[in-house]
Amino acid sequence: MSKTVTFEQFLTKDPLDNYGDIELYKSKYLPLIKKYNQRLEENILDEYKIDLPKPRDELIAEQFDAVDYLYKAKLLTEREFEITDSSATKIVSEIANGNWTCAEVFTAFAKRATIAHQFTNCAHELFTKEGLERAKELDEYYKANGKTVGPLHGLPISLKEFISLKGKVTHGGYAAFVENIAEDDSVTAKILKDAGAVYYIRTTQPLTLMQLDSENNYSGFTKNPFNLLLSSGGSSSGEGAVVSFGGSTLGVGSDIGGSIRSPAGFSGCHGFRPTTRRISNFGNVANYTGQESVSPVTGPLGRSVSDIELFMKTYINEGKPWNYDTWSIPMLWRDVPKPKADQLTIGVVRDDGFVRPSPPIRRGIDVVVSKLEAAGVKVVPFVQKNAKLAYETVHKMYTCDGNDESRSLIAKSGEPIPKLTKWSLNYGDGARVYTAAENRHLNTIRDDLREEYNKFFMDNKVDFILSPLYNNVAPHSGEVYNWSYTSIFNILDLPTLAFQTGLRQDPELDVWTEEDKKHVYRSDLEQLENENYKPDEFKGAPIALQLSGRRYFDEEVLASARLIIDDILKVDLFKH
């Protein structure tokens, strides 16, 4: 009955779920994709472009730190650095006060985003000309009316490609959609635009979205700005890269298993997965129509918690998504004061009992815990009892339509399936179609898990859970298999911030100890993931963790994150 693909089978055999028709793809779709990508090349304007210091392949091989180079080589003017290293909060205030124009702000970001793309390959589409026009229109409006159009007036915001923009191709990573012109802006695009956002870049995402990486047939891999050998994460792959590089003030991603948090954390910025139904998914081109056992969530990536709060508050309180999308709950964003350290109790996950974190992650947890304790935060251990059950259940939820929808979208163009998309197509029982009754049973397992975690919060008076984001720092491209640290918070639907600790991987410090080497692997997956970590190959990768709160207490997560990140860890991503 069940068509389970074991890990062994995956590694050794020709994978299942190959719906490719390479002839169809080559004859019809590949030429269209080339044309699409040619438009991208043509839209890279000379005034924003730089000459790379070396051929890109060489930069990748030598683990090039593009962010460091940006500053060292002074690729921007001082003024451009000032603007692009300002918080979104500061930028909107400078524009609203008439000190800065939308056009000069835009130009600085267009340049930095273009450079980000040259290094990391983060864009599916660039339309900086159009963006500049919009910025100038906003300046005109301000001049004529003496006020802004909204709280995000003039803010350059990047969008994951699958967020529909009216009149533009929106392919959602699928070759089959290479000519799919969106009839309308998605609700999210509309709301941010109405609040004053300026669009100019649509960023990369992997095929089917079901990778914590970036591979698709349009753009291949997107790279990590702090170490070009590594992945930028995914599925909001380009968002991670462009926001971390400083190429946009805020980015919009989505997350059904870690897809906001992984690219943010891996690439070097913060990313917030809100509780479901606060930010609209309406109008996004994706492959989970009607799937509501584990809901995808749209949410922001940014370089400060305050900027993420600006996004959430403006989006919800000004945008009122429930007016356009009945899936969204009319629950206003509350202003929550920053708590005091000694009011907080945090439960810490050091290992989910499933896949052991690598040395840099363990150092990250150690450093953060000791700083929290020094600041007066009460820290208690949290041992997850059912991480494996949660992992298996969420995988079944993803695929329990037998991948019906994604398979048919892939089959339509016959496009080749990237390795990690194949990997996730084989999640759960792969192509086996569950019955509605089986699906309902999965929901009851999920609800039991939610009760278990809620009881942990309530019984122990724990405010937040601190945990690894992944069992490693940013992996090599095409080499990220385990989602257990992120997808647990999707199945639980807990608001979760992936945040930078301010630490970076250090090949000297972050080595496996003799003790580590005695570890008996608890699964093939753990072995694969752990063996992938070789200290020399992850130079300078950002070390990120997660902070999760109770369901719908999104405001509290961010308020406490301000205390933890700004005050206790003193992380400032605008400084280099």
Which residues sit at the interface with a copy of itself, rule CB under 8 A? 289-293, 322-327, 329-331, 400-402, 404-405, 433-444, 447, 450-451, 453-454, 458, 492-493, 550-553
Q: Is 445 annotated as a binding residue?
A: no
The one-letter amino acid at 511: V
Give 14's DSSP letter: -
Q: Measured between alpha carbons, how far is 357 from 342 in angstroms, rounded to an integer?
A: 28
Q: Measured between alpha carbons, how far is 374 from 341 in angstroms, rounded to an integer?
A: 10
Closest separation in Å from C-beta 323 to a copy of itself: 6
**Distance linking the first and last C-alpha atoms of the chain:** 56
385 is catalytic: no
Identified catalytic residue from 86, 87, 186, 235: 235
Closest separation in Å from C-beta 186 to a copy of itself: 14
Q: Measured between alpha carbons, how far is 443 from 365 in angstroms, rounded to an integer?
A: 32
Beta-strand ranges (E) seen in 92-165 are: 123-126, 157-160
Give 504's DSSP letter: E
Q: Measured between alpha carbons, how far is 32 from 122 in angstroms, rounded to an integer?
A: 20
The one-letter amino acid at 119: F
Q: Measured between alpha carbons, how far is 128 from 37 in angstroms, rounded to an integer?
A: 16
- Nearest CB to a copy of itself, comparing residues 97 and 289: 289
- Nearest CB to a copy of itself, comparing residues 174 and 457: 457
Closest separation in Å from C-beta 305 to a copy of itself: 21
Tell me how far apart the 2 most distant CA atoms of the chain are, in Å. 71
Closest separation in Å from C-beta 491 to a copy of itself: 11
- C-beta atoms surrounding 337 within 10 Å: 8
Contact 8, 396 (CB under 8 A): no
For the record, the structure tokens of 572 come out as 């400032």
Q: Is 256 annotated as a binding residue?
A: yes
Closest separation in Å from C-beta 6 to a copy of itself: 22
Identified catalytic residue from 86, 158, 244, 259: 259
Closest separation in Å from C-beta 24 to a copy of itself: 24
214 is catalytic: no
Distance of CA 456 to the CA centre of its chain: 27
Q: Is 497 annotated as a binding residue?
A: no
- Nearest CB to a copy of itself, comparing residues 130 and 404: 404
237 is catalytic: no
- Nearest CB to a copy of itself, comparing residues 235 and 406: 406
Q: Measured between alpha carbons, how far is 365 from 508 in angstroms, rounded to an integer?
A: 18
Closest separation in Å from C-beta 429 to a copy of itself: 11
* CA angle, 31 then 46 then 477, to 5°: 55
- Nearest CB to a copy of itself, comparing residues 352 and 493: 493
Closest separation in Å from C-beta 433 to a copy of itself: 5
- Nearest CB to a copy of itself, comparing residues 342 and 438: 438
Q: Measured between alpha carbons, how far is 125 from 122 in angstroms, rounded to an integer?
A: 9
Which residue, 160, 187, 162, is CA-closest to 174? 162
Q: Is 235 annotated as a binding residue?
A: yes
Q: Phi/psi class of residue 466: alpha, beta or left (left: φ > 0; alpha: ψ in -120 to 50)? A: beta
Identified catalytic residue from 111, 160, 168, 313: 160
Q: Measured between alpha carbons, how far is 429 from 509 in angstroms, rounded to an integer?
A: 40
Question: Residue 28 — φ and ψ, nearest 5°?
Answer: -105, -50
- Nearest CB to a copy of itself, comparing residues 13 and 455: 455
Q: Phi/psi class of residue 208: alpha, beta or left (left: φ > 0; alpha: ψ in -120 to 50)? A: left
- Nearest CB to a copy of itself, comparing residues 98 and 330: 330
Handedness of CA 115, 120, 122, 125 (dihedral sign): positive
Contact 262, 234 (CB under 8 A): yes
Q: Measured between alpha carbons, how far is 363 from 264 in angstroms, rounded to an integer?
A: 19
Q: Is 150 annotated as a binding residue?
A: no
Which residue, 114, 159, 167, 107, is CA-closest to 134? 107
Q: Measured between alpha carbons, how far is 546 from 541 in angstroms, rounded to an integer?
A: 16
- Nearest CB to a copy of itself, comparing residues 80 and 493: 493
Closest separation in Å from C-beta 401 to a copy of itself: 4
Instruction: Provide the annotated binding site.
Output: 209, 235, 256-259
Q: Which positions make up the binding site for substrate?
A: 209, 235, 256-259
Catalytic residues: 160, 235, 259
